[in-house]
Amino acid sequence: MSGIVTARGLVKRYDRTLAVAGLDLDIAEGEIFGLVGPNGAGKTTTLRILATLLVPDAGDAEIGGASVRRNPNDVRRVLGFMPDVFGVYDDMKVWEYLDFFARCYGIPADRRRRMIGDLLELVDLGPRRDTYVQSLSRGMQQRLCLAHTLVHDPQVLLLDEPASGLDPRARVELRELLRELRSLGKTILVSSHILPELEELCTSVAIIDRGQVLAHGRVADIERRLRVGAVFRARVLVDGEALDGPRTWFAGQPDVVTAEILSDGTIEIGFHGDDEGAARLLAAAVGSGLRIVSFARAASDLEELFLQVTAPDPVVMAPPPPVPGAPTGWRT
Amino acid sequence: MTAVAHPPTRRPFGAARDVVNGIVAVGVKELRGRMRGRRAFVVLTIHLLLVAGFAWMVESFAERTVTSNFGSTFSASADIGRALFTGLVLLLTLIVLVLAPASTAGAISLEREKQTLDLLTTTPISSLAIVLGKLFSALTWVFLLLAASIPVTALVFTFGGVGPEDVIRGYVVLLGTAIGFGSIGLFVSALVKRTQAATVINLVAVIGLTVGTTIVFIFWTAMTGSQGFLPDEPGVRDQGFLATLTRRPPEALMYLNPFVAQLDVVCGTETGFGTTCQVINGVTARDLAGVGFEEAQFGVARDSFWPRSLLALGVVSLLLIILSVQLVSPTRRWRLRLPRPRRRPAGSET
């Protein structure tokens, strides 16, 4: 085990349901690692095992060199955990909330005062210092919960669906905050359903389903390994309604699987090639005289990967080639 | 930052210090919430009005009873003092029996309901610190109410008949009762998920340990040979279970009934073989052979019951605290759960 977060053969069973089925994990320091999967995939169970809230039935995991089985208390000192569903204490002000958790970590009073001010500034809750926690908006509570994970300056953050229930502005703010935390040297393991955001944010991802990792690594690498098809949308300037000509042209090109005319007047192209191939396709279209107004991916890469990998009959992925010094790696 | 973090270095007495820090952290948080606003002071005021009003009623009643029955005797004032003391310690016992488990009934279950327990248990704070912090903060509130009642209880000194050591004994029993029944409340709170259910179970436990044990004790006593029919009599042998009650009930049956412990304390103030001493003698049925004249003259050995009662409450508290720690710990070794339908744990995606 070499990464700051590592797991080997994690298994967790609830009654007859196998929630995590032999998961291996290796996350290098400084990564923002995304855990992607449908509901019931085992993301939350994995995070709860890493957060020492669940004991695995088999296997072990280490965070910062401490085993979640043998030294859960040492693990708790190097990680901050934000659950997907969390509550707030009644009758507690914002600063008292952070003060309480800082006391739990045994932080001395003089350091607590300074740290609370810094954290409230970091999560942009400075003006709300004396506000009661229960009166904060959902987004503010989310930021406060994130701040509580930082009171002991942990090396690793485990964030379970941190953006759920947030409005778009709050999501953008949270994303910026996570980037800032990464720049401070934190390693962040984040699970989310909002795939485009994860794609923008994460340095690596793992797609997980039925307790197993189906694909892992950098999004571009996974895409290249899987050769997953991309969907492009092209808007072509034509006279009248004569879109059938361009559609037929696209359909006849190499690596194009499908080409359909959509109701908004665009052509949707199912493309089974890489970025080089897409560039060649566009160049060929322009070269053939098609008047292309726009040509862009219809969905994010991660979404395509996710749909492809978690499909009932998914692409069977070959194990990733060993890359010396590779920062991350998942295997099942 | 290094590639792999190193586990924290061990400090001398680090574990003990962590537990103390945790107790302080949880205790401060709980007390902040409990004492915030006017609520605490309103409850304190109502409590004092209740105790003072009750004391006035008992004193008025005792004064009328004593003077009408015996006229003005040399011990009338002491009789009033003893009656006042008896009334007050029994009232305070009742208050503690209601408040102590009620204060701890939501200690853990509320954390589960509000989904804050995960946040707490992923800190290095130990489950022992969580449990003790919750217990101490809840009991601090009960102790505050008891302390506030001391000036009212001290009124007994103006009448006489009750010494300071009796009052101290009475308050020691009250403190033990608070800890014992607070622990019961805490355990139930850790065992069940809902605070409402925990409150109801606690209420049933309190009634069972006070009223229930008394009824069982009286019934058992009545069915034995010492009072009522003899089991060996013809006809009784055929009564199945009843026929097995050939021996008087053990006094341990009443150890967890703090009212009996307080009656033992009150018995210590009596100058003759009074009502409370009769009750204690009925419970303990002590063989007085070999007991000195000083102790035996009134038919019951002083301080014979309440120390054992406190010891029993202490043992029960200890056991329940250990069980509560196990229930709170996310990585507990023993699985102690109420039977329930098989389903996935709440709050977990898979």
Q: Looking at the domain assignment, is residue A315 inside a domain?
A: no
Q: Is residue B13 part of a domain?
A: no
CB contact under 8 A, B330 and A14: no
| pLDDT number for residue A260 | 86
A318 assigned to some structural domain: no
Per-residue confidence in pLDDT tens, chain B, 350 aa: 334 444 455 566 677 888 888 899 999 888 888 888 888 899 999 999 999 999 999 999 988 887 776 555 667 888 899 999 999 999 999 999 999 999 999 999 999 998 888 899 899 888 999 999 999 999 999 999 999 999 999 999 999 889 899 999 999 999 999 999 999 999 999 999 899 999 999 999 999 999 999 999 988 888 775 444 444 555 555 555 555 666 778 888 999 999 999 999 998 887 766 778 878 878 887 655 555 545 554 556 677 789 999 999 999 999 999 999 999 988 765 555 555 555 555 444 44
Are B201 and B207 spatial neighbours (Cβ–Cβ below 8 Å)?
no
Residue A288 and residue A191 share a domain: no
Distances (CA, A) of A74 to A25, A178, B128, B229: 19, 24, 17, 66
Question: Is B29 an 8 Å CB contact of chain A?
Answer: yes
Write the DSSP string, B5-73. PPPPPP-TTHHHHHHHHHHHHHHHHHHHHHHSSSHHHHHHHHHHHHHHHHHHHHHHHHHHHHHHHH-S-
Alpha carbon of B55: minimum distance to chain A alpha carbons (Å):
35
Task: List, in order, residues 6 or more apart from B8 with CB less than 8 Å away.
Answer: A74, A77
Best of B26, B32, B119 to disrupt the A interface (most A CBs within 10 Å) is B119
The residue-averaged pLDDT of A98-116 equals 91
What was the pLDDT predicted at A3? 84
Pairwise CB contact (< 8 Å): B17 & A45: no
> Do A260 and A216 share a structural domain?
no
| A186 and A278 together in one domain | no
- The residue among A163 and B183 whose pLDDT is bigger is B183
B271-276 own/partner pairs: CB under 8 Å, 24+ apart: B271/B75, B271/B78, B272/B298, B273/B298, B273/B299, B273/B300, B274/B298, B276/B86
Binning pLDDT at 50, 70 and 90, where does residue A328 land?
A: very low
Q: What is the CATH number of the domain that holds A296?
A: 3.30.70.100
Q: What residue of A is the nearest CA neighbor of B8?
A: A74
**B39 touching A (Cβ < 8 Å):** no
ipTM above 0.85 for this complex: no
The predicted structure's pLDDT at residue A103? 92
Q: Where are the alpha helices (DSSP H) in chain A?
A: 43-50, 72-78, 94-104, 109-122, 138-148, 168-183, 195-201, 219-226, 244-251, 275-287, 301-309
Please return the burial class of A76, using the count of CB atoms within 10 Å of its CB with bins 0-12, 13-18 and 19+. buried
**Same domain for A94 and A119?**
yes
Residues of B (128-187) whose Cβ lies below 8 Å from A = none
Report DSSP state, residue B125: -
Q: What is the mean pLDDT of residues A248-276?
A: 85
- % of chain A exceeding 70 in pLDDT: 86
Contact check, Cβ <8 Å, B24/A66? no
Q: What are phi and psi of A198, to 5 degrees?
A: -60, -40
pLDDT of residue B301: 66
Question: Is B139 domain-assigned?
Answer: yes
Q: Please indicate whether, in this complex, the C-beta atoms of A55 and B4 are within 8 angstroms of each other.
A: no
Shortest distance between the Cα of A123 and any Cα of chain B, in A, equals 18
What's the N-to-C CA distance of chain B in angstroms?
34
Domain of A26, in residue numbers: 5-224+324-331
Predicted local distance difference test score (pLDDT) of residue B5? 45
CATH of the domain at A128: 3.40.50.300
Q: Give the model's pLDDT for residue B268.
A: 85
Nearest CB partner across the interface for A77, out of B28, B124, B343:
B124
Write down the pLDDT at residue B317.
96
Position B10 in a domain:
no
B329 touches chain A (CB under 8 A): no
Q: What is the distance in angstroms between the Cα of B234 and the nearest Cα belonging to chain A?
A: 57
Any domain includes B103: yes
Model pTM? 0.77
In DSSP notation, B327-343 reads: HH-TT-SS---------
For an interface test with B, the pick among A89, A134, A153 (most B C-beta atoms closer than 10 Å) comes out as A89
pLDDT at A304 over 90: no
Contacts of B120 in chain A (CB under 8 A): 104
Residue B294 lies in a domain: yes
- Angle B164-191/B258-267 helices, nearest 10 degrees? 170
- Predicted pLDDT of residue B9: 54
Instruction: Name the more confident of B9 and A95.
Output: A95
| CA dist., res. B189 & res. B116, Å (int) | 15
Any domain includes B341: no
Q: How many CA atoms lie within 13 A of B60 on its CB side?
A: 6
Mean pLDDT of chain A: 83
- Do the chains contact at B8 and A211, CB–CB below 8 Å? no
- Comparing alpha-carbon positions, the chain B residue that sits nearest to A29 is B3
Q: Is residue B42 part of a domain?
A: yes
Q: Are residue A238 and residue A212 in the same domain, yes or no?
A: no
- Asked, for residue A216, whether it belongs to a domain, the answer is yes
Give A120-142 pLDDT, tens digit per residue.
998 889 999 999 998 998 888 88
pLDDT tier, A163 (very low <50, low <70, confident <90, very high otherwise): confident
Kindly report which listed range (A3-7, A317-321, B36-40, B78-82) carries the lowest average pLDDT score. Answer: A317-321
Domains of chain A: total: 2
Query: Is residue A316 domain-resident?
Result: no
State residue A315's pLDDT score.
46
Q: What is the pLDDT of residue B2?
A: 38
CA nearest neighbour of B267 among B229, B232, B228, B298:
B298
Whether residue A129 lies inside any domain: the answer is yes
Q: Taking CB atoms and an 8 Å limit, are A86 and B342 in contact across chains?
A: no
Residue range(s) defining the domain that contains residue B135: 18-328
Assigned domain for A73 exists: yes
Task: Looking at the structure, tell me whether residues A9 and A151 fall in a common domain.
Answer: yes
**A19:B350 CB<8 A:** yes
In whole angstroms, what is the distance from residue B170 CA to residue B201 CA? 27
Is residue A139 one of the residues assigned to a domain? yes
**What domain count does chain B have?**
1
The two tokens of residue B316 are 């029960």
B169 located within any domain: yes
Say yes or no to pLDDT of A164 above 70.
Answer: yes
Cβ–Cβ of B25/A85 closer than 8 Å? no
Q: With 70 as the cut, is the pLDDT of residue A170 above it?
A: yes
Note the pLDDT tens digit of each residue in A276-294: 888 999 999 999 988 899 9
A66 contact residues in B (CB cutoff 8 A)? 5, 7
Name the residue among B3, B123, B348 with its Cβ closest to that of A76.
B123
Residue B130: the pLDDT is 92
| Residue A196, in any domain of the structure | yes
pLDDT higher than 50, residue A320: no
Asked if B120 and A15 come within 8 Å (Cβ–Cβ), the reply is: no
